[in-house]
Chain A
Amino acid sequence: MTIPSEPRSASAFSTPLDVLLDRVEKDMQDDLVPAEIFHSEEVFRAEMERIFTNTWVFVAHESELPKAGDFVQRKIGLDPVIVSRDGKGGINVLSNYCRHRGTQVCQTDAGNSRFFTCPYHGWTYANDGTLVGTPLMHRAYGERVDPDLWSLKRAATVESRNGFVFASLSEDVPPLEEWLGGAGWMLDLITNLAPGGMRVAGPPERYTVNGDWKTAGENFAGDVYHLPTLHKSIEDVELIEGLQGTCEIGRTYEFENGHTFIGHAWTEAIGPFFTHWGYGAIPGYVENFDLSGLDETQRFVAEHEPPTVGTIFPNLSFIRIFSPLPDGPPGVFTSFRQWQPVAPGKLELWNWQFVWDFQDEESAQRDYVGGQYCFGSAGVYEQDDTVAWEGVQRAAASPWMRKEGMKFNYQQGQNSPVDQAPDPDWQGPGVHRKTGYGEHVQFNFLRQWLRTMKGQTTPRTAGTSTTDGGMA
Chain B
Amino acid sequence: MTATADPGTTSAVDASTYTVVVQFLAHEARLLDEGREGEWLELLEDDLLYTVPSRQSTEPRSDEVNRAAWRIRDTKAHVRTRIARQNTGRAYSEVPPSRTLRLVGSVEVVPTSETDVVAAHSSLLLYRQRGIDVHFDLIPCRRNDRIRLTAAGPRLLAREVILTETSLKTANLGVFL
Evaluate contact between A205 and B90: CB separation under 8 angstroms: no
A206 at the interface (CB under 8 A from B): yes
B-side contacts of A233, CB under 8 Å: 85, 88, 90-92
Do residues A236 and B90 form an inter-chain contact, with CB atoms below 8 A? yes
For B, the interface residue count at a CB cutoff of 8 angstroms equals 40
Cβ B167 vs Cβ A110 within 8 A = no
State in angstroms the CA–CA spacing of A23 and B142 once bound together.
51
- Contact pattern, A 209-232, Cβ under 8 Å of B = 1, otherwise 0: 110000000000000000000101
Q: Is the CB of B172 within 8 A of A377?
A: yes
A387–B70 CB distance below 8 A: no
B81 engages A378 (CB within 8 Å): no
Chain B binder among A162-170, A274-282, A367-375: A367-375
Interface segment out of the listed B72-80, B99-107, B120-128: B72-80
Given contacts A203-B69, A207-B167, contact A387 B77 (CB under 8 A): no
Assembly CA distance A377 to B177 (angstroms): 13
CB of B57 within 8 Å of the partner chain: yes
Known pairs A368-B70, A378-B71, A378-B173; A230 contacts B81 (CB<8 A)? no
The binding surface of chain B is classed by DSSP as: mixed
Please name all residues of chain B whose beta carbon is closer than 8 Å to the beta carbon of A237 when the two chains form the complex.
Answer: 81, 84-85, 88
A202 CA / B92 CA spacing, docked (Å):
28
Q: Given A237-B85, A377-B173, A387-B93, do A326 and B71 touch, yes or no (CB 8 Å)?
A: no
Tell yes or no: A68 within 8 A of B by CB.
Answer: no
Give the interface size class of chain A: 35 or more
- CB of A201 within 8 Å of the partner chain: yes
Contact A210 B171 (CB under 8 A): yes
Asked if A202 meets B66 with Cβ closer than 8 Å, knowing A207-B167, A208-B169, A209-B171, the reply is yes
Which of B56, B77, B78, B167 is in CB contact (< 8 Å) with A108? B56
Please list 18 pairs of residues, one from A and one from B, whose beta carbons are closer than 8 Å in the complex, sorted by A's number: A107-B57, A207-B172, A232-B90, A233-B90, A326-B77, A326-B81, A327-B75, A369-B73, A372-B70, A372-B72, A373-B72, A378-B52, A378-B172, A378-B174, A382-B172, A383-B171, A386-B171, A387-B172
Chain B contacts to A: CB under 8 angstroms = 52, 54, 56-59, 63, 66, 68-75, 77-78, 80-82, 84-85, 88, 90-94, 130-131, 166-174
